[in-house]
Amino acid sequence: MTESVSLDSAKVRVAELRQQLNQYSYEYYIKDAPSITDSEYDQLYRELEQLEKQFPTLITQVSPTQRVGDKVSEGFQKVTHQVPLYSLSNAFNKEDLLSFDQRVRKLTQEPVQYMCELKIDGLSVSLRYEEGRLVLGATRGDGTIGEDITQNIRTIKSIPLQLPKAISNEIRGECYMPKEAFLKLNEEREAEGLDVFANPRNAAAGSLRQLDPKVAAKRNLAVFLYSSATTEGLEANSQEELLKSFKKLGFVTNSLCRKCDTIDEIWSFIEEISQNRANLPYDIDGIVIKVNSLAQQQEIGYTVKAPRWAIAYKFPAEEATTIVHEVEWTVGRTGVVTPTAIMDSVQLAGTSVSRASLHNVDLIKQRDIRLNDTVVVHKAGDIIPEVTRVVLEKRPQDSTPLEIPTHCPNCGEKLVHLEDEVALRCINPKCSALLKEGLAHFVSRNAMNMSGVGVRLIDQLFEKELIHDVADLYQLTMEDLLTLDKVKEKSAEKILTAITNSKTNSLERLLTGLGIHHVGSKAAKLLAQTFGDLDHLMHATKEELLVIDGLGETIADSVLTYFAMDSVQEMMQELKNAGVNMTYLGVVPTTVIDSPWLGKTVVLTGSLEHFSRPELKNILEEKGAKVTGSVSKKTDLVIAGKAAGSKLAKAEQLAIEVWSEEQLLQALEGAER
């Protein structure tokens, strides 16, 4: 439908659309009460995009369509803050708070009230508005000079590009990555064979320093605003009023704050928040206590580094010290050799910890971790324990730097450092650790989904030389299987059925299973959809690969290199001869028709033990369910893993059916039988 529109009427409609889209964003992000559905929003957004395409002169920097720029920057410019961003002094217990209170009361004559806020564990950012327009987003830097990250700041949807009032000021706050976005990002990175981020804070920092705003835009960053350079245009006499005026201007503020008169009241707030900390959808590392009155803040003043009128109470760190006895080096599916510290077990954040990933060689060198060192291990929330530092005073005298392997701990071949990578890799395609991990990946739920074929079975098959590569799986016979430990006729039959069934999988499962470098399930699906069958994909040129939206140079090169190998071509032929399906069968397999999941809206929350989130999402979607991100009246079922938080609470409030992971497993198995 391409009606011709005049420039004048387009102008009117464009203004109207922008106003509506901004209003809906405000309802969504600030009031947390959207009045239209996501798809209605998308429709309006597309209409605006269409009009702007038709009339490019109408495009302005503050249009909601202009959040993500397409220019990759070469570096970050330095910028001077209008007023410095201060640091905060710390308190670690109630005594510290009492002496803070005494100091404050000496510096002012009037009675004091405090405002307590959550200390968000992210990065402080400063947003400069001129005449109501966002003109600059900057990092804190050293407090005086920061870096210009405007391109990335603009991609954060809850930050208004245009304020309803023409004020000029710098609004400050904390940028962070919500826990859920962090877990999802790491799952995706893991599937793509990339290094994972140690915590949401690092992930947020990495995202804000992306040179390509398109990448930053995908990272689901969020922000809470809590201070400003001046009070210009803000009509505020206190911290409390400041937060209110921010909210009125369309900024997100954190509502978990409390006005208190005494340290006792503050202490109760701290205790309440400490107990609920794990359920918050973002990480916090303390509570910030600020004198509420802005006039009093000025009266009390600043040290060189920090305001005298505020203090940060820091939660006790979830840290412990222990001794490293051994460093284990293991070879993963992609050949990456990763070190793990084996330590005396210690209690940390309620769990017993004896292993911690050391991630890579660089990290070992940086932190100079040695055998028999006493180390500090840290565990935050759902995150894997990490060795943060060595207690040097306790280092044994005869200690020597840890030996970094030069040869594969499994096959003995020389290890390599690929260009641009911190990882150490075994690139011997015949390395049994690689092959075994590769096989385990091939049969996994997310790939060819051969239920009943697990790591232990693969190990045995491999040791007995019954299989060498994935194609061999399809040649296995009943006799072969019966030679294995603990495999009886009945289970052997099940295994053979699972292998046979996998032959009818749609192509993207095969592609995922092959474990081509950088090709996770998402890329596999794109490739399968685009090329339709393996032959076409194998003959694709680089240009043809690069046409695919969402698929970059790295993946394209990796696919080309992979299929150019003779051994790979042979293996593909073997798979084909064995009757493995090589075509894309579409998203919804025919068996879905009578699936009990058909049309059900499901929400996943908490940490799952048996699946990764994307994996489970895939499984349920294949059965016809719709998996969404938030609980609403339309939700039919919530699957709650460990430490489920606000979504679970919401489900209970709306009386929506909730299943544990166990219940889900039973239901899935029941349906398969």
Q: How many other C-beta atoms lie within 10 A of the C-beta of residue 639?
A: 23
Q: Which sign does the torsion angle of CA 595, 596, 600, 606 carry?
A: negative
- Give the one residue of 58, 88, 473, 524 binding ligand AMP; rule: CB under 6 A: 88
Q: Which sign does the torsion angle of CA 271, 272, 275, 276 carry?
A: negative
408 binds, among Zn ion, ligand AMP, none (CB under 5 to 8 A by kind): Zn ion
410 binds, among ligand AMP, Zn ion, none (CB under 5 to 8 A by kind): Zn ion
25 binds, among ligand AMP, Zn ion, none (CB under 5 to 8 A by kind): none
The residue number whose beta carbon is nearest to ligand AMP equals 124
Residue 87 among known ligand-binding residues: yes
Q: Give the shortest CB-462-to-Zn ion separation in angstroms.
A: 14
Closer CB to ligand AMP, 230 or 577, in the complex: 230
Q: What are phi and psi of 535, to 5 degrees?
A: -55, -50
Residue numbers of the site for Zn ion (CB under 5 A)?
408, 410-411, 426, 428, 431
Residue 42 among known ligand-binding residues: yes
CB 636 within 8 A of CB 657: yes
How far from each other are the two terminal CA atoms of the chain, in whole angstroms? 50
Residue 117 among known ligand-binding residues: yes
Q: Does 117 bind ligand AMP (CB under 6 A)?
A: yes
Residues in the chain: 673
Residue 411 among known ligand-binding residues: yes
Beta-bridge mates of residue 514: none
CB 138 within 8 A of CB 126: yes
Residue 175 among known ligand-binding residues: no
Q: Does 226 bind ligand AMP (CB under 6 A)?
A: yes
87 binds, among Zn ion, ligand AMP, none (CB under 5 to 8 A by kind): ligand AMP
511 binds, among ligand AMP, Zn ion, none (CB under 5 to 8 A by kind): none
Query: Which residues, 6 or more positions from 40, have their beta carbon under 8 angstroms from its beta carbon?
Result: none
CA-only gyration radius of the chain, Å: 28
Closer CB to Zn ion, 42 or 421, in the complex: 421
Q: Identify the burial level of 82 via C-beta atoms within 10 angstroms of its C-beta, where 0-12 means exposed, 13-18 middle and 19 or more buried.
A: middle
Q: Give the shortest CB-149-to-Zn ion separation in angstroms.
A: 41
Q: Does 447 bind ligand AMP (CB under 6 A)?
A: no
Catalytic residue, candidates 53, 119, 436, 542? 119
Q: Which sign does the torsion angle of CA 134, 138, 143, 145 carry?
A: negative
Residue 494 among known ligand-binding residues: no
15-24 own/partner pairs: CB under 8 Å, 24+ apart: 17/44, 17/47, 17/48, 17/51, 18/48, 18/62, 18/63, 18/64, 20/44, 21/45, 21/48, 21/64, 22/64, 22/160, 22/162, 22/250
Residue 232 among known ligand-binding residues: no
Write b or e for each residue in 561-579: b if 16 or more Cβ atoms lie within 10 A of its Cβ, otherwise e.
ebbeeeebeebbebbeeee
Q: Does 202 bind ligand AMP (CB under 6 A)?
A: no
d(CA 137, CA 159): 10
168 binds, among ligand AMP, Zn ion, none (CB under 5 to 8 A by kind): none
Residue 140 among known ligand-binding residues: yes
> Applying CB under 6 A, which part among 114-122, 261-269, 318-326, 536-544 lies near ligand AMP?
114-122
Residue 41 among known ligand-binding residues: yes
119 binds, among Zn ion, ligand AMP, none (CB under 5 to 8 A by kind): ligand AMP
Q: At what angle do helices 179-191 and 200-208 cross, to 10 degrees?
A: 80
Q: Does 120 bind ligand AMP (CB under 6 A)?
A: yes
Q: Does 116 bind ligand AMP (CB under 6 A)?
A: no
- Give the one residue of 60, 87, 340, 374 binding ligand AMP; rule: CB under 6 A: 87
CB 86 within 8 A of CB 141: no
Closer CB to ligand AMP, 119 or 613, in the complex: 119
d(CA 192, CA 364): 24
CB 641 within 8 A of CB 613: no
Residue 134 among known ligand-binding residues: no
Closer CB to ligand AMP, 120 or 263, in the complex: 120
Q: Give the shortest CB-117-to-ligand AMP separation in angstroms.
A: 4
Closer CB to ligand AMP, 287 or 453, in the complex: 287
Closer CB to Zn ion, 210 or 428, in the complex: 428
- Give the one residue of 163, 216, 312, 380 binding ligand AMP; rule: CB under 6 A: 312
Largest CA distance in the chain: 91
Is 488 an annotated catalytic residue?
A: no
DSSP 168: -
Q: Does 266 bind ligand AMP (CB under 6 A)?
A: no
- Reduced to 3 states (helix: H, G, I; strand: E, B; else coil), residue 302 is strand
Binding residues for NAD(+), as ranges, are: 38-42, 87-88, 117, 140, 174, 290, 314
Annotated binding site for Zn(2+): 408, 411, 426, 431
Show binding-site residues: 38-42, 87-88, 117, 140, 174, 290, 314, 408, 411, 426, 431
Give the residue numbers annotated as catalytic, written as ranges: 119
Residues that bind ligand AMP (CB under 6 A): 87-88, 117, 119-120, 124, 140, 174, 226, 288, 312
